[in-house]
Every structure is written in C-alpha cells, then in structure tokens.
A = this chain, B = another copy of it.
Amino acid sequence: MKSRRFISDIGEFGLIDRIAKEIKVDASVIKGIGDDAAVIKFTNDRYLLFTTDMLIEDVHFTLREATAFQIGWKALGVVISDIAAMGGLPKYATVSLGLPKGLSIKFIDQFYKGMRELSAKFKINIVGGDTNRSKKIIVDVALLGEVEKRCLVLRSGAKVGDIIFVSGTLGGSLKEKHLTFLPRLEEARYLVENYKLNSMIDLSDGLSSDLNQIAKASDVGAIIYEELIPISKQAHSLEAALNDGEDFELLFSLSLNGARRLSSSWKMKVPLVQIGEIVKKNLGLRVITKAGRERRLVPKGFRHF
C-alpha cells in the first residue's frame, strides 16, 4: 500500500476533508467549511456569509495574459461569485496583497481600478487590507455578505427529482472569460427571491467536479444530457465544457414544478438551461450521450494538488 506522506498524495479534496474533520465550531455557525461561503447566525431574519479566495501569479493568472485591471476585477469577482451561489448579497471586502518590490505604481492603480469598478457595480465596500513584499503577486480577498434566511441555498439540499440548471455557456474560460467574467449575482438574487432552489454552487472547478460537489453534499446522484450542455464558443469540445474550470456560472437544482415555472418566465439576458436531473445516490453521476448511451461522468475539474 502506498503511504501518504505529501499533500499531492491525498489531493486537494483529501486535504480539505482532513482539515475540516479536525475543526470544531459552535452553534452560531450554520455552515462551516464545505460550501461556497460560511453561514453564520446574524439577525432574526438574516445570516452572515463569509468567504475568501486567493489568487497567485503563475497559478491563477500570468502577467503575460492578464492586465492589472483584470487581476483586480477577477480577485473580487471570484468571491462575489461565492456569495451569489449562496443566494446572498456581498457587502464588505478586505484585500491582502503580496507585491514585488519592483512593481510599478501604475500597476497598483490599475489593479484597484478593476476592483473598484466591480465593487461599485455591486455596492461592495472595500474596508481594509494588508500589503506585503513578495516575489510573486498574491491577492487574497475576504468577503462578508448577508442573506435572508428564506433565500439561503446550500450545496447540500438537492433532492431526487430536482431539475438541474446551469447559467451561461461553459468551457474555454482560460481564453479570456476567467479574467473578465461578471459574477452572476443579479441572476442568483432573482432566482432565490422568486424560486425555492434546493441546491446551488458556482462553477469554479468545472461542471463535472462541481456537480459532484452537489451530489456528495446532498447524498444524491445526477444525470446530465450531452446535447443540453451549453458549450461556449471558446470551448473546443464537449469535454472542455464538462471539465474546464473558472466558468463562474451558476449550477443549481429545483423541483420539477419550479423548473417549469422558471423555464417559461426567465427573461434575463444570461441564458439558463436545464441540463439534467437529480437521481438516487446509487446511480452516481451519469451522462446521456447524444447517441442515447449512458456513461459515467468522472469529476475531472482543476485540482491544485
């Protein structure tokens, strides 16, 4: 038997499970590690949401492809996307930076311009941060939001018979979208205010991987249909749409009745399509091919380890 000594031996999800297992939280924490954001008791009718995401030069972006404006935009965008996927509204952000000594002032100005443009759009207050010397550019944004109790959506509530929806188009995000995407906050808010979603996640690791997260958390299986997957122009294949990371679209499920009502009334610009349904756990994750065959869907999204 192979001994497990290094992070790369247990993988990213093995690592997160290992960390989460040892951490105890008190009764004020509705949901800790294991969703897009933490959920914390707040007022009678609302919860606090709390999330953080780190971007590292040459891991999440390179200076060859990304402008300073885009890096600032993306760093805030990824955490807004987390809060959106919980059904919430982002409110307050802190920004920790690691910066090379020789970085130009213009870079910083443009970085914050990107961040401010997005924060202004969604009425987010940047309230603090930390600046440090570093060889590579590092950006960590922590975001605090809130959500009405009735609007909260977790990964773990998917029910057998739910219809699975996805927003936008998928795949090929690395060609540009991952630096310029608009988080689906308005869409998510419209959805949670008007429908009872049973589960939701934002697509950061890739459809196959993120659908697996919903299935695992909800103790269910899922079937999706190849011909229904909305493949983006930038994706070179169905496989790319299934497995590419950083789409930052919404993946969610709701009851058949809700799905019917939603499909007939959706009027926002971003497309919303049904791609499959939630099934019993023992069926696992499956894809129905265009030829009508059934195959296993293997979660293949981006992994850090």
Q: Which residues of B contact A24 (CB under 8 A)?
A: 120
| B12→A59 contact, CB < 8 A | no
- Max count, chain B CB within 10 A of own CB: residue among A104, A109, A128, A305: A128
Question: Within 8 Å of chain B (Cβ to Cβ): is A56?
Answer: yes
Question: Within 8 Å of chain B (Cβ to Cβ): is A291?
Answer: no
| B128→A51 contact, CB < 8 A | yes
A76 to chain B, nearest CB (A): 12
Q: Could you pull out 30 A-B pairs where Cβ atoms are within 8 angstroms?
A: A5-B105, A6-B104, A7-B108, A8-B101, A8-B102, A15-B108, A16-B131, A19-B129, A23-B112, A33-B128, A33-B129, A37-B128, A38-B94, A40-B127, A40-B144, A50-B92, A50-B128, A51-B94, A51-B128, A52-B128, A52-B129, A52-B130, A54-B138, A54-B140, A59-B133, A96-B142, A98-B138, A138-B138, A140-B142, A142-B142
Residues on A close to B: CB < 8 A?
4-10, 12, 15-16, 18-19, 22-26, 28-29, 32-33, 37-38, 40, 43, 48, 50-54, 56, 59-60, 91-92, 94-99, 101-106, 108-109, 112, 116, 120, 123, 125-136, 138, 140, 142, 144, 304-305
